[in-house]
Chain A
Amino acid sequence: MTAQILDVLTTAAMLFIVCLGLQIVYGVMRIINFAHAAFLTIGGYSALVAAQLGLNPWLALPFAGLVGLVLGALVERLIVRPLYARPLDAILATWGLGIVIGQLVTIGFGREVQFVPSPVQGTVEVAGATYSLYRLLLVLGAGLLGLAVAALLSGTRFGLVTRAVIMNESLAEGLGINSGLVRFACFSVGAGLASLAGAAITPLSSVDPNMGVPWLVGAFMLVMVSGASLRSLALATLLLGGAQVLISAYASPVLGGLTIVVLAAVILRLRPKGLALD
């Protein structure tokens, strides 16, 4: 029972971390970044490179975030910016970019599955259950990351300006806010967070050139259901991620794998606003 509760929590935490970058980009720009999967992959390989360089495994996380941020900035300038008026084409172009990144990673690092050392090893006892320490730390990490993003959005001038652009871009422009710059910053931050997420999940699995793809559709659905709200995203990952864990355990893993996408599709059909709270 305890293990199950912890499974729900840690699964939700992983999903939350993975979705965060996608949500920021979608919230500000109404653009679905299908290169998100590739940025997760970049994060995984950043962690791998960090390990090969002999960096402390903890440093792999900020390193990956930085790599994602820089690459995201480049991508926004070259590919995303011309497509703001064509959101469907932006989905396609970012998907194509994902293919390019995947192939470049394959050429650079090979096709094979590789492993990245975990910053912490071992298990802990929680209320009678033995549980992976790293997975538990992810819950903490998701909470901290969520709070940090929330603080960035609600406590800083950058956040205020970003929220203004989300709510009414044209009005924000009229008050002297450079919405193009806000979009640029948000896309870069979103890519950075995706890469960070990729580095954070690799110790639990492995690294391969397509490691991000299985996460993509689930993350996309969770973001569609949550809209632009962080609280809704937390709620959605808990509800849908929790459902996934329980259905996998009690019904079948196959049905569990479908839980998030099917539930999200049903929710969106019945309530186009999804779980958006505000």
Chain B
Amino acid sequence: MTEPLPAREAPADPALRRAALLFAATLAAVAAGPFVLDAYTVNILIRALLYAVVALTVDVLWGYTGILTFGQSAFFGIGAYAAGLAFTHLGFSPGVAVLALVGGIAAAGLVGALVGWLAFGYGVTPIYVSVITLVLPIVVTQLLFSGGTFTGSSSGLSGFDTLDISIEAWFWLAGGACATLTFLAWIALRSDAGRLLVAIRENEGRCQYLGIDTARLKIGLMALSAAVAAVAGYLYAGFTDVIAPELAGFVFGTQIVIWVALGGRGTLIGPVVGAVVIEVVSAYLSGELPYVWNLVIGAVFVLVIVAAPGGAAAMVRRLWIWTGRGRARAGPGPAIEVVPAAGGGPLPDEALALEDVSRRFGSLAVLQGVSFRVRPGELLSLVGPNGAGKTTLMRCIADGTERSGGGVRIGGHAVGRGPPAECVAYGLGRKFQTANVFDGLTVAESLRVARARRETPSLWRRSATLRLPAAAARVVAATGLDERLADEVVHLSHGLKQALELAMVLALEPRVVLLDEPTAGLTKPERTLIGTILTDLVASERLCVVLVEHDLDFVRQISSRIIVLHQGRVALDGSVAEVVGSELVRSIYAGEPQALAEA
């Protein structure tokens, strides 16, 4: 173990202890390997272990973050050619070796960042990343083909001077690198920061509305995994002394995805073992049964994708549970620690202001000239018949890219054309109509993701406590979520998911909270509870709450003010008594279009 963890911070973490033991055992096995294995096997294993490193990066991208990439081979190729080109044209020396390594990492990192920038801009379709990662290896291989004698064109480069160390040393280097990277990746991914990646995979939109710059994170991750793949490629070139354009190619890129899928995406160890096993078996079988072996791999791959998307790792886990050794249920959740409010000075007189906001879809105007101001401590309900523009209005408040015209100020800051994360930075929190949560995370992890904007999460440890502002802690306690902090969100009832989303929004310490139908699908006691919590928060924290709600009983009970939207305009703005008693509202709800004209 390279990095012993202070006992104070991880009092008893059996999973960590097991992983550290496994890591130590693997290192021991790597150390012993060359003495017990024959030279041919060692030779094959060295390549396989370097491939496994690339597979590891694909698993982090695809299995954990949901970015399906076919182009990781390009970065492997960049690393390999950095070594090959430098050693061929400059000759081998320690200085050149370091230079080539740094150059390879930098080139791969830059290309990776460029790919990420292209793929993860706001509004770019999710499939685009797969498109661009298909293009990348083709571009890289074509450039290598066209390089003439400089790159060796289609036959590549070989026979260059390289690091002169024994095959045992190469084995230790490859095995040590693979095991260490896997262990480090495991620690990073289970850390508080690592859970952000899973949150992005599960629900990227929610992350953006929690103020997390997901694009920047993904671009960084892309660059990092590119750099790691380049290191593997560099070592590969150094060891084999032969490089060819196929290393950077699209077919190799898909090959890596196959290893990851067969080993078990999203498990780290699965893809590593998958890559190693498949490569070693291939080396032994492909000589005798070349086509049959590839046929078997292809068929198993199809079968796994269709019938067992979890791959070998999931099967092993199921077997483990089936034999009765399944993991004990997650222990008790972390203790909740209430953090004092950040306190942004005295509250301004205006929490939210809309001026002449409009939204058009082509020639259709869904919102026109909507203006109003809301003060802290107000609970404003937006009501109106279907198609009145209520949800569109919520979107225009929470996302600067949605408006067609007019202006929105949140806490005194004018919202430009920025994406949701900008609105969140000004103090906005938005709860969606259907519970918009992270099914694959636990309750505590979800709430920590919501706090990520306020408190930078650790990259290497899991905190033992859960720090929440008072308002969020109150929701958690009142709904019984505090009993279920260690449970996965997918197992929660609909009502608890709604409560969790509300708690996540409040964990942002917002000044303005938008709620879209917070009671939809809830039972009566749940509705009452949410209503009580909201009115309490408005009274005690001077929160500004804007909600869209169809249940007018509920609206009447909790609102301090009601705005009626009709055909995209503010039809009425007043106190509960004024609005509920209004003839106009009654006729709008009865669906008589002439009502407005007569009013």
Please say whether the chains A and B touch (CB closer than 8 A): yes
Residues of A within 8 A of B (CB): 79, 82-83, 86, 88-89, 91-93, 95-100, 102-104, 106-107, 213, 217, 220-221, 224, 252, 254-255, 257-258, 261-262, 264-265, 268-269, 272
18 contacts between A and B (CB under 8 A): A79-B306, A88-B68, A93-B301, A96-B305, A97-B298, A100-B299, A103-B292, A107-B292, A217-B134, A217-B250, A220-B131, A221-B135, A224-B127, A261-B138, A265-B135, A268-B128, A272-B125, A272-B128
CA–CA, A102 to B299, complex, Å?
Answer: 11
A272 pairs with B138, CB closer than 8 A: no
B261 partner, pick from A86, A92, A255, beta carbons under 8 A: A92
* Smallest beta-carbon distance B515→chain A, Å: 28
A83 pairs with B128, CB closer than 8 A: no
B125 pairs with A262, CB closer than 8 A: no
State which of B251-259, B334-342, B554-562 sits at the interface with chain A. B251-259
Contacts of A213 in B (CB 8 A): 251
Apart from A93-B301, A258-B139, what are 5 other A-B pairs with CB-CB below 8 Å? Answer: A96-B305, A99-B301, A107-B295, A220-B131, A221-B134
B298 pairs with A99, CB closer than 8 A: yes
B309 partner, pick from A89, A91, A99, A264, beta carbons under 8 A: A89
Q: Report whether over half of chain B's contact residues are helix, strand or loop; otherwise say mixed.
A: helix
* Smallest beta-carbon distance B50→chain A, Å: 23
Contacts of A224 in B (CB 8 A): 127, 131
CA–CA, A107 to B290, complex, Å?
Answer: 10
A92 partner, pick from B142, B294, B305, beta carbons under 8 A: B305
Contacts of A255 in B (CB 8 A): 142, 146
Which B residues, 278 to 305, have Cβ-Cβ distances below 8 Å to chain A? 291-292, 294-295, 297-299, 301-302, 305
- B128-140: CB near A (< 8 Å → 1, else 0) gives 1011101100110
Contacts of B146 in A (CB 8 A): 252, 254-255
Q: Report whether over half of chain A's contact residues are helix, strand or loop; otherwise say mixed.
A: helix
Contacts of A269 in B (CB 8 A): 118, 121, 124, 128, 132
A103-B291, A221-B131 as given contacts; A254 in contact with B142, CB under 8 Å: yes
CA–CA, A265 to B137, complex, Å?
Answer: 13
**Who on chain B is nearest to A34 by CB?**
B254
Contacts of A103 in B (CB 8 A): 291-292, 294-295, 298
B142 pairs with A257, CB closer than 8 A: yes
**Chain B contact patch, size range:** 35 or more
CA–CA, A262 to B294, complex, Å?
Answer: 31
B92 at the interface (CB under 8 A from A): no
Contacts of A262 in B (CB 8 A): 135, 139
A217-B250, A221-B135 as given contacts; A96 in contact with B292, CB under 8 Å: no
Contacts of A92 in B (CB 8 A): 68, 257-258, 261, 301, 305
Which B residues, 139 to 167, have Cβ-Cβ distances below 8 Å to chain A? 139, 142-143, 145-146
CA–CA, A103 to B138, complex, Å?
Answer: 23
Interface core residue of A100, A106, A257 (most chain B CB under 10 Å): A100
B131 pairs with A95, CB closer than 8 A: no
Contacts of B257 in A (CB 8 A): 92
CA–CA, A258 to B134, complex, Å?
Answer: 12
A88 pairs with B130, CB closer than 8 A: yes
B6 at the interface (CB under 8 A from A): no
* Smallest beta-carbon distance B361→chain A, Å: 15
A252-B146, A257-B142 as given contacts; A96 in contact with B118, CB under 8 Å: no
Contacts of B345 in A (CB 8 A): none
CA–CA, A268 to B119, complex, Å?
Answer: 10
CA–CA, A142 to B547, complex, Å?
Answer: 57
CA–CA, A272 to B118, complex, Å?
Answer: 12
Contacts of A91 in B (CB 8 A): 68, 130
* Smallest beta-carbon distance B200→chain A, Å: 15
CA–CA, A131 to B139, complex, Å?
Answer: 31
B302 pairs with A268, CB closer than 8 A: no
**Who on chain B is nearest to A253 by CB?**
B146
- B101-138: CB near A (< 8 Å → 1, else 0) gives 00000000000000000100101110110111011001
A83 partner, pick from B118, B291, B305, beta carbons under 8 A: B305
**Who on chain B is nearest to A92 by CB?**
B305
* Smallest beta-carbon distance B195→chain A, Å: 22
* Smallest beta-carbon distance A103→chain B, Å: 4
